[in-house]
Amino acid sequence: MKKTFGMMMLLLVAVLMASCDKLFGGGSGMGYEVTAIAFQEEENGDWGLMDMDGNVLVKPKFKGYVTAVTNGAFSVLNEEDSEYTLYVLDGDKPRKIGTYQDVGGFTGNLCPVVDKNNNMKYVDKDGNSPFDIKKIKGKKVVSAFNFFCGLAMVKLENDKWGYINEQGETVVPFKYADAWNFAEDLAVVYLDPQEDEDAKWGVIDTQGQMLFTKKFSDMEPSAYRYYNGLMPVVNQSDGRTVLLDREGKTVKKMKEGVYVGAIYDEVFTVYDQENEKTYLMDVDGKSNLKGKYESLSYNGPLLVGSTDRKRNYLLNLEGEKLAKLPDGYVTLFEPEYKNYDNRFLVGEYEQGYKLLDGQGNEVETKADLFNVSSGYYYGASVRMEEEEEYYEDYEE
């Protein structure tokens, strides 16, 4: 369910549907900063790092896939041995932290990693481990994730989830069948395996207090996190999306076939399956954009609409066109990115990308952007026996 190995990058925001990551913005606002993206100047070329103003921070030199820079650090995948090397970005000469079987990212002062002995631990930017989490209460730790709101979710070998703080202390006991990252000081947890009869899920605060519970047979989370105090879930009786507040009360119920995306200041993107259009709506059901655009990219300050002819327009929240943009896939940076409100990307793989400012003007970059990566890993997992066999065969 969550990131383990390989080149797959999982964003922090939960995707509502498999086909909706292009339709909806994300937005996490979880107290960390992404300051640079990775780029290639040519197909199969080396990777370098560039800031949001187009300045090259590290010239292309890395053969393997490079993540974005989170809290001053990034990782590089060595495809030959499926290992990851962590670096601190220190001028134009990155400082190596260490090489590991699996890595997460720095969303605080620590990063989850799996060492070469297949043990889970957290390291700081000097490669030191401030505490030992190989085992908790006699159980091996098999997965650990980044710190959000001061807590990280951790999984034990008995498939139970809990949360620890940055001192390695257990804050939320290891008793949940599944768990999700904190956002806005709230987290979704499964009290029972979802397939069990009368299984329940709930929302806890950073003290581990349960705010409310729901049966899966009644409602099922679709975003697994709160946006501006609201969380989309699916009402199982009729399949309609419902917005819940922090107490689990229904704020709004959508019509059938309508799916909710990112929410900023009680304005959210909506995908209508019937007419295959995306538009904006507020909690009162008002919208100025309904039916006009095939897809919308939205991160709060910036809104881009794309027509069925693949034309992109920078818009304001009233739907007025502010600028015509280049054709291509639009990537708006989320609130954890520095300059997310006045920088975004437009382009297509094999055709290259352009960096634009908040008025839709092209920003001159100091290198070509044939390919870009603005993602990062957010957790790590030890290799289980079947995975170890896979990697042994792969390395041979």
DSSP labels, 130-177: SS--SEETTEEEEEEE--BTTBEEEEETTS-EEEE-TTS-EEEEEEES
Contact yes or no for 325/318 (Cβ under 8 A) = no
pLDDT of residue 294: 87
Pairing between strand 161-164 and 178-179? unpaired
Residue 303 has pLDDT above 80, yes or no: yes
Structure-token pair, residue 221: 């989370």
pLDDT tens-digit series, residues 244-271: 999 999 999 998 888 888 788 889 888 8
**Cα–Cα dist 243/253, whole Å:** 6
Sheet holding 250-253, edge to edge: 219-221, 231-235, 240-244, 250-253
**Distance between terminal CA atoms of the chain?**
28
pTM of the predicted structure, to 2 decimals: 0.87
Which bin fits 165, alpha (ψ -120 to 50), beta or left (φ > 0)? beta
Segment 165-224, tens digit of pLDDT: 999 999 999 999 999 999 999 999 999 999 999 999 999 999 999 999 999 999 999 889
- How many Cα atoms occupy the beta-carbon half-sphere of 309 within 13 Å? 5
Both tokens assigned to 354: 């352009």
Residues 6+ away with beta carbon under 8 Å from 313: 304, 305, 306, 307, 321, 322, 323, 324, 325
pLDDT at 387: 54
**What is the structure's pLDDT at 63?**
94
